[in-house]
Amino acid sequence: MNRDDPEGAIAAAARSCSNWGRWGEDDRLGTLNHLTPDKRRQGAALVRRGDSFSLSLPFDMNGPQKGWRRRTNPVHTMLDTGTDAAAGLQDFPHGIGGADDVITMPLQCCTQWDGLGHIFDHGRAWNGRDAATTVTSQGDLVTGIEHMAAHVAGRAVLLDVGRVVGGGELPDGFAITEAHLVTTAETHGVAVGRGDVVLVRTGQLARAKRDGWGDYAGGPAPGLSFTTAEWLHRSEIAAIATDTWGFEVRPNEFAEAFQPLHQVVIPHIGLLVGEMWDLEALAEDCARDGVHEFWLSAAPLPITGAVGSPVNPIAVK
Amino acid sequence: MNRDDPEGAIAAAARSCSNWGRWGEDDRLGTLNHLTPDKRRQGAALVRRGDSFSLSLPFDMNGPQKGWRRRTNPVHTMLDTGTDAAAGLQDFPHGIGGADDVITMPLQCCTQWDGLGHIFDHGRAWNGRDAATTVTSQGDLVTGIEHMAAHVAGRAVLLDVGRVVGGGELPDGFAITEAHLVTTAETHGVAVGRGDVVLVRTGQLARAKRDGWGDYAGGPAPGLSFTTAEWLHRSEIAAIATDTWGFEVRPNEFAEAFQPLHQVVIPHIGLLVGEMWDLEALAEDCARDGVHEFWLSAAPLPITGAVGSPVNPIAVK
Amino acid sequence: MNRDDPEGAIAAAARSCSNWGRWGEDDRLGTLNHLTPDKRRQGAALVRRGDSFSLSLPFDMNGPQKGWRRRTNPVHTMLDTGTDAAAGLQDFPHGIGGADDVITMPLQCCTQWDGLGHIFDHGRAWNGRDAATTVTSQGDLVTGIEHMAAHVAGRAVLLDVGRVVGGGELPDGFAITEAHLVTTAETHGVAVGRGDVVLVRTGQLARAKRDGWGDYAGGPAPGLSFTTAEWLHRSEIAAIATDTWGFEVRPNEFAEAFQPLHQVVIPHIGLLVGEMWDLEALAEDCARDGVHEFWLSAAPLPITGAVGSPVNPIAVK
Amino acid sequence: MNRDDPEGAIAAAARSCSNWGRWGEDDRLGTLNHLTPDKRRQGAALVRRGDSFSLSLPFDMNGPQKGWRRRTNPVHTMLDTGTDAAAGLQDFPHGIGGADDVITMPLQCCTQWDGLGHIFDHGRAWNGRDAATTVTSQGDLVTGIEHMAAHVAGRAVLLDVGRVVGGGELPDGFAITEAHLVTTAETHGVAVGRGDVVLVRTGQLARAKRDGWGDYAGGPAPGLSFTTAEWLHRSEIAAIATDTWGFEVRPNEFAEAFQPLHQVVIPHIGLLVGEMWDLEALAEDCARDGVHEFWLSAAPLPITGAVGSPVNPIAVK
């Protein structure tokens, strides 16, 4: 990997990892094709205690966003309130009162899935489509996240690299390699394979919770090394999610680059990528009972034409 | 039930169905307390084929809302597009391009959960709290939907009253009684009990899909009779959801009233109520294989202080 | 004018009316260049009684929009309320309370100016610029409405074609020609010339106020004939505004067309166009005192990169 | 003025400055009642050169807001773009293309007017009204800013206290007293009286433009002393605006307080207050030609029920 040639490295990785055409010309699911009904049966069989964990951060104004590319934190406002109801200011009969609310938020502001229309490589979107005609001002006309609405439920695995390799937390700038992933899985005694959703905990979020957001949104962070592209492809996982803003290590591993691993895994592998997942409580539990596999439901909101979606992923052990 | 005295009827039902204090003074979950880990194990055991169903309508401008109480349909806009990326108009290196998006929507606009702070009875919120200080302009300071984030996953049952009683669809204004619910469950051969999530299909949505929204949002509709309050309480279900705008029958069964059943079930029973769920594909499948029980994940987005949440419920059989 | 060849007619009109290059390659003002300080002195001299008129419709949910191209009516919500303040629910000292609010609205939803980046002809924007690089997802990078912030104040003239030609209101589909404009000005005894802002009242809004919005937003309407392009250019007016949704007559005068006059006047003439202005009270006053010229301030909000702006135009007589 | 008794000082000032009832029980204009047609004639007569100045900051993401009380900077997004149009991605005939846009913004985020419903004193709004029933979640039901739509146009005066007293800029925390205002007016040779709009330049904005926003939104700032309440009342001005976030000096002059002058001038005097006005170019011009009086149009957007409005004020000399 030539530090000074991200474009060449990306092109090479794209060639060797490409899933273009693998599921037909009309495919809108990418690696979710690996997540079969059989995988859901396996996942359901992992529900032993029946305890559930939300892997979502709170959606509110106290989030990590600072306005980069107009990404703000969610703004939640009330249309009607209990205060108004109690003051008798609503025109409803027989003592009924109500409260309604509204939200305005970037779909990339908090715990989220990146849709297949989120990243392009030289004007090409997933499956080789022309980015220009796929994602216009009207939204993603082909691979909108609504096509994934029913799919993201199955077996998931936690790889707590922060604990295994970092003794709790990986430092910012730490590049997680295939070797780290394999070692972590072995240490956990868990298998990772076709159709799994893989959750990688770096521990950066634990740090942010303790010390404040700082530059969590876009600053230095531990994350997947560019070199994991091959593993991400070869392992045939259905999806991956991390507890960081941007999934891959930052600063990126090239002299001048911006999220080069995204440029391979989304348009070429068709990989579903989750970001800003809160894996803390789940990881604590896994460390306690030694079980790192579980049921996961993480259905995106079917926002027509969206290139991403907020999500409240639920793990059940 | 005196048609001319909704206030009296509501007060009587509230008295006999009240769960106030049942789970302590600090409770923020209401009937979700019935949804125990054991229930999740039962639910997971129902995953037989591994097929999953999204029960969400599309979130877009083509939804049913017409502006009542400022409830609009979701407005989804792009911050960056593939068209821009392909035209070389983004300041990113090595050929990467990206698309981002934003949504503005009432939390009650589409497939949703009503939170515990959504409805009040004479200025009282769930568990007897003062509505005035519980849900202010800052949102629901006590029972915000974020408290339910990890809970809504377990065993669910479909009661296809539309098919069993209505031969497919119930007409608008049809009041579903306890007898209808019981008959439907018996016909399906399915038990309904403590901790279940009950999905009631009226068939109205099938009509709306065929004929257009018309007055789906707030007009006449089939739905639960006010008289089912007792059953909703006694059965100890964890949650209920329908394929209609407002869960209960409309016009309401009193001479002059507005959603009287809400006034009992939300503040007094603490019942989690879902609305505008798309049960069509699931119901079709259940009619085909005769199995009306399944796993359900329907986690609300943990929007801090929200009195409701959009949701993409996933059923797995 | 060949009814079946809008493209040819537009091309011909564009050629004969083009102002490209007239004010230099860097121009961002178009016909506002005609509105000179001298013109403002003339306008100020028309303030005789000191009576002012707002020419804006209310910005609220009761507006004409129906969702075409995601154009909704404005949604105004409160962040803090007097109800909360009076209930002592705000954390402020010494008895102070406050209310704040938020708005979400398309810039084209109500009384507005169309900016120079609003309409293109075959991929060309005002002054011959490439539309692709001028108005991206980041907004209008060149001719954003902020460049007009200080300019729109000067002499204005009301041409009440509705009263003079239509006896009060013109019917929908009525095409206002140069002859109608000239006759109206003569009847009013008012001169129209270089640097003036021309307000054309059709009377359609009076009808909408009386009968309801109906298809006001995009349906049939009286308006400027395509043939007025020459006059709009030759007269060297600074801006024009009407009491209709779309300025030009609808249905448009070609067999199949969409706003062909826009395609000439905005990108080629560089004309500032106002729509949905409420001219009723002003027109009433002008009819009463026979004076159809006055001071006008109609400053757009300087929203960076916007292709239009809501505006509350103030006429002073 | 007892530094430790803001509540007492406010009560005393409120008593001595109250305009409650002065313009009748139904009044919705407050001190705008002072701005008569005669005043507009005087203002128009001040248009000598015809040069116009926008006094508005840009409305965009680069504004001063940091999220206090959910006040964000404006978020402007595109519904359609020139890039899409040029790529032939819009379904329009004969080569026409278009761009539309949307804005979401707090009405208090940038250059603005505070409406009469913005501030309360012990649950009382302007004219003695009950704040609880005046400004609910539905907005300001009585004194919404729409009632001011036609009024804010007339004679204005710049008091450049920053230049006269501060040699350019006043330091943060500098309290401008009546003596400073009088001295400045005398130095300028300009009279201030009944019905005038008074623009007070502190110079803080010049500093923010040079050094970055810092804590411009809510931090220390020069501004009107609490003691000016009497002058603001006695002078019978129609409105006042400053180049600061909050009009009055910060930290406020009491040991523990929050905007005490607001609590007097808005609910008791009924004074229209403008904030975050950009007076730099205008002040430069006034310093050059020595003329500190001019025409001003500063019409709020008539957003129904709003407690404030963004505004692009236009001064013409």
Asked whether B169 and B244 are in contact (CB, 8 A), the reply is no
Rounded Cα gap, residues B106 and C263, in angstroms: 36
Q: What mean pLDDT value characterizes chain B?
A: 98
The pLDDT-based confidence of B269 (bands split at 50, 70, 90) is very high
Torsion angles phi and psi, residue A168, rounded to 5: 140, -60
Beta-bridged to residue D15, according to DSSP, are: none
Domain assignment present for A99? yes
Provide the token pair at D307: 């407690």
Give the strand pairing for D52-54 and D314-316.
Answer: antiparallel
C104/D104 CB distance under 8 A: yes
Q: Using the 3D structure, point to which of C89, C104, C119 is the last residue of a domain.
A: C104
What pLDDT does residue D180 have? 98
Helix (H) / strand (E) element for A226: namely none
CA distance B161 to C211: 43
Residue B65 sits in the same domain as residue B186: yes
B121 and B92 in a common domain: no
Asked which of B60, B83, B104 is the last residue of a domain, the reply is B104
Interface test with D, best of C61, C80, C81 (most D CBs within 10 A): C81
Q: Does the pLDDT value for residue B316 go beyond 80?
A: yes
**Alpha-carbon span D213 to D249, nearest angstrom:** 17
| Minimum Cα–Cα distance from B101: chain D residue | D77
**Within-domain flag for C1:** no
Q: Does C37 touch chain A if contact means CB atoms closer than 8 Å? A: no
Last residue of a domain, one of B104, B119, B151: B104
| B&D contacts, CB < 8 Å | 27
> Tokens 């007898």 label which residue?
B179
**Which residue on chain D is closest to A76 by alpha carbon?**
D70
What sign does the dihedral D161-D162-D163-D165 (CA atoms) show?
positive
Q: Do A132 and D87 touch (CB under 8 A)?
A: yes
Among C104, C133, C137, the residue with its CB nearest the CB of B81 is: C137
On whether both C87 and C125 belong to a single domain, the answer is no
CB atoms within 10 A of CB A21: 10
Cα–Cα distance, B82 to A122 (Å, whole number) = 10
Q: What is the pLDDT of residue D59?
A: 98
Pick the residue from chain A with its C-alpha nearest to B146: A58
- Give dist(CA A143, CA A137) in Å, integer: 14
* Cross-chain Cβ contact A73/D79 below 8 Å: no
pLDDT given for residue D72 in this prediction: 96
Q: How far apart are CA D74 and CA B81, in angstroms?
A: 20
Q: Which of D70, D81, D307 is the best residue to mutate to test the B interface, defined by the most B CB atoms within 10 Å of its own CB?
A: D81
* Shortest Cα–Cα distance, C87 to chain A (Å): 8
pLDDT band at B1 (very low <50, low <70, confident <90, very high): confident
Please tell me the distance in Å from D95's CA to the nearest CA on chain B. Answer: 18
β pairing state of D175-176 and D223-224: parallel
> Roughly how many angstroms between the first and final C-alpha of chain B, as a whole number?
40
Taking Cα atoms as reference points, which of A209, A217, A258 lies closest to residue A110? Answer: A217
Q: Can you give the pLDDT at residue C163?
A: 98
Q: Is residue C20 part of a domain?
A: yes
Mean pLDDT of successive 10-residue stretches along chain D, which has 317 residues: 93 98 98 98 98 98 95 97 97 97 98 98 98 98 98 98 98 98 98 98 98 98 98 98 98 97 98 98 98 98 98 98
Cβ atoms of residues C9 and C254 within 8 Å: yes
Evaluate whether C145 touches C179 at the Cβ level (below 8 Å): no
Q: Quick one: B272 and B166 in the same domain? A: yes
Residues of B in contact with A137 (CB under 8 A): 77-78, 81, 83
- The two tokens of residue C181 are 């404009």
Q: Which two tokens stand for residue B224?
A: 């639960």
Structure confidence at residue D220 (pLDDT): 98
Residue-number span of the structural domain to which A143 is assigned: 6-69+106-316
CATH of the domain at C306: 3.50.30.50
Query: Residue D304: which of C39, C76, C316 has the nearest Cβ?
Result: C76
Report yes or no on C144 lying in a domain. Answer: yes
As to burial, measured by CB atoms within 10 angstroms (0-12 exposed, 13-18 middle, 19+ buried), residue C26 is exposed
Mean pLDDT along residues C145-161: 98
- Are A248 and A13 within 8 A, CB to CB? no
C222 and C240 inside one domain: yes
B205-253: per-residue pLDDT in tens? Answer: 999 999 999 999 999 999 999 999 999 999 999 999 999 999 999 999 9
A70/D81 CB distance under 8 A: no
Residue C191: inside a domain: yes
Domain count within chain B: 2
- A302 part of a folded domain: yes
Q: Does residue B1 lie within any of the structural domains? A: no
Residue of D71, D80, D83, D307 to mutate for B, most B C-beta atoms under 10 A: D83
Q: Do B82 and B218 belong to one domain?
A: no
Domain for residue C116, yes or no? yes
pLDDT tens track for A233-253: 999 999 999 999 999 999 999
C78/A77 touch (CB, cutoff 8 Å), yes or no: yes
Give how far A305 is from chain D: nearest CA, Å: 13
Chains that touch D (3 or more CB pairs under 8 A): A, B, C
- On chain A, the residues whose CB falls within 8 A of the CB of D132 are 87, 89
Task: Count interface pairs A-B at CB distance under 8 A.
Answer: 375
Q: Give residue-wise pLDDT tens across range A179-197.
A: 999 999 999 999 999 999 9
Same-domain check for residues B301 and B153: yes
Q: Which residues of D touch A77 (CB under 8 A)?
A: 70
Does C280 lie in the same domain as C225?
A: yes
Are A99 and A56 in a shared domain?
A: no
| Sign, Cα dihedral of B211, B215, B218, B224 | negative
Confidence category of residue C121, pLDDT binned at 50, 70, 90: very high
Q: What is the amino acid identity at position B165?
A: V
Which amino acid is it at D48?
Answer: R
**Same-domain pairing of D33 and D81:** no
- Scanning C85-144 for CB atoms below 8 A from D yields 85-87, 92-108, 117-123, 125, 130-140
Verify whether the Cβ–Cβ distance A89 to D61 is below 8 Å. Answer: no
Residues of D whose CB is below 8 A from C96: 10, 119-121, 258-260, 262-263
Contact A133 D80 (CB under 8 A): no
How many angstroms away from the CA of C170 is the closest CA of chain D? 27
Cα within 13 Å of Cα(B106), Cβ side: 25
SS3 letters for D57-78? Answer: CCECCCCCCCCHHHCCCCEEEE
Chain C neighbors (3+ CB pairs < 8 Å):
A, B, D
Say how far apart CA A42 and CA C280 lie, in whole Å.
70
**Structural Rg of chain C based on CA atoms:** 20
Chains interfacing with B (3 or more CB pairs < 8 Å): A, C, D
The answer to whether residues C80 and C180 belong to one domain is no
Which C residues, 160 through 199, put their C-beta within 8 Å of a C-beta on chain B?
none
Same domain, A13 and A128: yes
pLDDT of C1 higher than 80: no
CB contact under 8 A, D84 and A137: yes
Point out the residues of chain A with pLDDT beneath 70: none
What DSSP assignment string belongs to chain B?
--TT-HHHHHHHHHHHH--TTTT-TT---GGGGG--HHHHHHHHTT-SS--EEE----BSTTSS---GGG----EEEEEE-HHHHHTT-S--STTEEE-EEEEEEETTSSSEEE-TTSEEETTB-GGG-BHHHHEETTEETTT-GGGGTTT-EEEEEEE-HHHHTTTT-PPTTPEEPHHHHHHHHHHHT----TT-EEEE--SHHHHHHHH--TTTTTS-B-EE-GGGHHHHHHTT-SEEEESSSSSB-BS-SSSS-S-HHHHHIIIII--EEEES---HHHHHHHHHH---EEEEE-PPP-BTT-SEEE---EEE-
